[in-house]
């Protein structure tokens, strides 16, 4: 295509988006055109950048972060399609170092969007969070929204699926248009419910078309907001979905160091002895499972008027009784190696006899 043909195509595309009444998409397209014409038509590129700089900024002080548009409703049930959370300060999630670095960069890119735009760049617009349940994907989205001081909009794709698939597409468009109308973080939860592999013969044609619509919407997402999607089953996603996201963060089951940091948050000022013990017996737990374990102990401590320390130890010992002897022995040996607990105390906690512990130590 020659330069004139490309210019004509871009003008038609811009007009189409403008006539559809999608101002955020117009700004996104103008940003792209300014970058595209930087070399071939520097004057046009500079004029487009000037227009962007003079346009009302979505974070201007007079702009209300609240969305004046009505919350979109499902045509069948008349229930709200989206949940809005106006967030204050949110507890910093405990995350693997690589994931934390990705989230902090996402935050900083949107906080310093003007700096990027002055260099002809735009912030990452989309992020995909992949990992098993309970590892911090939703909490990470809440933290980002809190850090950016914008609402968190949550769309649970498992609940938005209509009995008529054509309406599901309409529902998703309603939510995406709503989220584009003002700065926000939009979280598409359970993305695999909709964005399944299009080569799956078990899926009907309408659902495959729905994936195509969703991919187009992700491509056109404005830089003024952040679109996040979460899935517990990345293997079910259409391969094209992975390529559409600017950032892909894999949330693993917490390692001992991360689990320990989280347990310190959950338990408060409890003695290090109980923390070390819990890290061992809750190995392989998600953050959510570990927090539920601690909350159950806290409730019991209040009701029975016992010390939380004693309740946590008792709960941990009860949990250990469900393990086989080999696992309990390994936990006991790890505690003796990595903590300052005495052999007697380790034996009391784990139920492994001191004779067994002595014998294993001698055999090393």
Residues 6+ apart with CB under 8 A from 350: 317, 320, 328, 329, 331, 332, 335
pLDDT at 98: 94
**Terminal-residue alpha carbon distance, the chain:** 73
> In angstroms, rounded to a whole number, what is the distance separating the alpha carbons of residues 205 and 207?
5
pLDDT of residue 222: 87
The pLDDT, as a whole number, for residue 286 is 95
CB 188 within 8 A of CB 156: no
Mean pLDDT in order along the chain per 10 residues (364 residues): 66 70 67 76 74 50 47 70 78 91 96 91 94 94 93 80 61 82 89 66 61 81 90 86 92 94 87 85 93 94 92 88 85 80 82 84 70
Q: Three-state DSSP class for 154?
A: strand
In order of start, what are the domains of the chain with their CATH numbers?
A: 3-54 (no CATH), 83-250 (3.40.50.300), 256-363 (no CATH)
Q: What is the pLDDT of residue 65?
A: 43
The CA-CA-CA angle for residues 70, 74, 76, to 5°, reads 140
DSSP class of 123: -
Report which of 161, 159, 158 is spatially closest to residue 169, judged by C-alpha positions. Answer: 161
Separation of alpha carbons 311 and 138, rounded Å = 29
pTM of the model: 0.73
**Which class for 339: exposed (0-12), middle (13-18), buried (19 or more C-beta within 10 A)?**
middle
Residue 348: predicted pLDDT: 82
Q: How many residues does the chain have?
A: 364
**CA distances, 50 to each of 36, 200, 223, 254 (Å):** 15, 47, 17, 47
For tokens 């070399």, name the residue.
39
List pLDDT tens digits, range 24-69.
667 777 777 777 777 777 777 777 776 766 554 443 332 334 455 6
The predicted structure's pLDDT at residue 226: 94
The HSE-up count of residue 40 (CA atoms within 13 Å, CB side) is 10
Rounded distance, CA 352 to CA 350, Å? 5
Q: Give me the pLDDT at residue 58, please.
A: 40
Tokens of 48: 């487009």
Distance CA 144, CA 142 (A): 5
pLDDT the model gives residue 250: 96
Angle between helices 287-304 and 256-267 (to 10 degrees): 30
């Amino acid at each position: 295509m020659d330069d004139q043909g490309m210019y004509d195509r871009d003008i038609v595309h811009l007009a189409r988006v403008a006539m559809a009444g999608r101002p955020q998409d117009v700004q996104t397209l103008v940003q792209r055109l300014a970058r595209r014409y930087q070399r071939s038509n520097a004057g046009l590129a500079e004029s487009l950048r000037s227009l962007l700089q003079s346009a009302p900024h979505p974070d201007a002080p007079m702009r209300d972060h609240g969305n004046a548009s009505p919350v979109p409703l499902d045509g069948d049930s008349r229930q709200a399609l989206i949940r809005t959370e106006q967030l204050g300060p949110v507890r910093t999630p405990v995350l693997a170092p690589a994931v934390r670095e990705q989230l902090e960069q996402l935050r900083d890119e949107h906080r310093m969007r003007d700096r990027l735009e002055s260099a002809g760049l735009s912030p990452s617009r989309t992020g995909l969070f992949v990992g098993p349940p309970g590892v911090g994907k939703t909490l990470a989205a809440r933290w980002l929204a809190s850090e950016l001081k914008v609402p968190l909009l949550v769309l649970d794709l498992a609940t938005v699926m209509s009995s008529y698939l054509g309406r599901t597409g309409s529902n998703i468009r309603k939510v995406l248009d709503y989220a584009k109308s003002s700065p926000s973080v939009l979280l598409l939860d359970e993305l695999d419910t909709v964005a399944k592999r299009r080569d799956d013969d078990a899926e009907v044609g309408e659902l495959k078309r729905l994936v195509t619509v969703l991919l187009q919407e992700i491509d056109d997402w404005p830089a003024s907001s952040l679109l996040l999607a979460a899935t517990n089953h990345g293997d079910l996603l259409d391969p094209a979905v992975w390529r559409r996201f600017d950032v892909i963060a894999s949330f693993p089951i917490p390692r001992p160091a991360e689990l320990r940091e989280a347990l310190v948050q959950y338990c408060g000022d409890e003695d290090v002895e109980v923390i070390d013990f819990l890290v061992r017996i809750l190995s392989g737990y998600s953050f959510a499972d570990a927090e539920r374990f601690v909350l159950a102990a806290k409730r019991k401590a209040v009701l029975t008027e016992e010390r939380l320390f004693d309740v946590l130890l008792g709960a941990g010992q009860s949990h250990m009784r469900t393990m086989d002897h080999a696992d309990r022995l390994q936990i006991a040996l790890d505690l003796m190696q990595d903590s300052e607990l005495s052999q007697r105390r380790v034996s009391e906690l784990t139920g492994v006899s001191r004779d067994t512990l002595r014998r294993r130590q001698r055999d090393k």
